[in-house]
């Protein structure tokens, strides 16, 4: 079999498994994401929606080149700002030290941009059109609107918005996938975007559907998810691990 035919077969297998997941399945899976749980815990401590959104977005804009798994990093973030009177610089120095000088410089810019965002738009308005958030942060940070940290910030805003309001923001369909190392081990960014269109799953929701199972153990999946969702996620995880192994061997 040619490499092209094998690639098409692999994408076809993945597409078939992903097509079995409903929007409700994805919401349940997101609720089990340790990052989502970390934000729930933070909001329970803060009880201040605007501060909660600001902290979440600033941290998302600084979430690159981490020295620990993303799930652990967001748990540390939640614990720190739930219990500490320290500021963001102290948090970064403690938990996000890789390329520290660049991140401290970016922190000042991110804090300014997030403050400016909420001076311009109340969070309720951002929830009516997520594109407003992406376009504003992209322009203010001087990055492409498809840059990983920009679209990741929009994803974490979705989590925070759902925690505060119980709803998913509108306008998520036009936001690109937060393409990181986990996703790159399975397929290219263009392949993920094509799958999103073919499946009718918004890119940042497709990200959740793939990224979360890759970070969960089989025991976590069985414990945290109800049937039949747990069974579908286990099958998807098995296929993702197989595709990652095949891609890594090329």
Give tens-digit pLDDT for 133-171: 999 999 999 999 999 999 999 999 999 999 999 999 999
Active site residue 7: no
For residue 73, give its domain range. 3-248
- The DSSP string of the chain is --HHHHHHHHHHHHHHHHTT--HHHHHHHHHT-HHHHHHHHHHHHH--HHHHHHHHHHHHHT-SS-SS-HHHHHHHHHHHHHH----HHHHHHHH--TTHHHHHHHHHHHHHHHHHHHHH--HHHHHH-HHHHHHHHHHHHT--TT-HHHHHHHHHHHHHHHHHHSSPPS-GGGSPP---HHHHTT--HHHHHHHHHHHT--HHHHHHHHHHHHHS-HHHHHHHS-TTHHHHHHHHHHHHHHHHHHHHT-
- pLDDT tens profile 71-119: 999 999 999 999 876 799 999 999 999 999 999 999 999 999 999 999 9
CATH number at residue 116: 1.10.340.30
Number of domains into which the chain is organized: 1
Indicate the pTM of the whole model.
0.94
Does the active-site annotation cover 144? Answer: no
Catalytic residue among 180, 185, 189, 242: 180
Euclidean distance between CA atoms 239 and 250, whole angstroms: 17
Of the candidates 7, 148, 189, 242, the residue annotated as catalytic is 148
């Amino acid at each position: 079999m040619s490499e092209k035919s094998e690639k098409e077969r692999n994408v076809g297998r993945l597409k078939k498994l992903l097509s079995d997941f409903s929007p409700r399945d994805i919401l349940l899976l997101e609720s089990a994401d340790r990052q989502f749980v970390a934000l729930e815990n933070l909001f329970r401590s803060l009880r201040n929606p605007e501060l909660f959104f600001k902290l979440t977005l600033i941290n998302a804009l600084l979430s690159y080149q981490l020295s620990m798994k993303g799930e652990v990093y967001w748990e540390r973030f939640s614990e720190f700002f739930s219990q500490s009177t320290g500021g963001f610089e102290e948090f970064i120095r403690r938990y996000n030290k890789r390329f520290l000088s660049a991140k401290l410089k970016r922190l000042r810019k991110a804090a300014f941009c997030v403050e400016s965002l909420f001076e311009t738009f109340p969070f309720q308005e951002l929830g009516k059109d997520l594109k407003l958030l992406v376009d504003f942060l992209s322009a203010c940070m001087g990055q492409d609107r498809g840059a990983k940290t920009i679209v990741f910030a929009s994803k974490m805003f979705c989590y925070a918005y759902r925690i505060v309001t119980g709803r998913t923001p509108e306008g998520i369909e036009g936001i690109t996938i937060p393409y990181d190392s986990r996703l790159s081990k399975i397929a290219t960014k263009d392949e993920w975007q094509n799958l999103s269109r073919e499946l009718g799953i918004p890119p940042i929701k497709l990200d959740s559907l793939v990224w979360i199972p890759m970070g969960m153990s089989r025991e976590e999946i069985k414990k945290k998810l109800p049937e039949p969702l747990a069974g579908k996620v286990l099958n998807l995880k098995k296929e993702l691990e197989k595709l990652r192994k095949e891609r890594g061997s090329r």
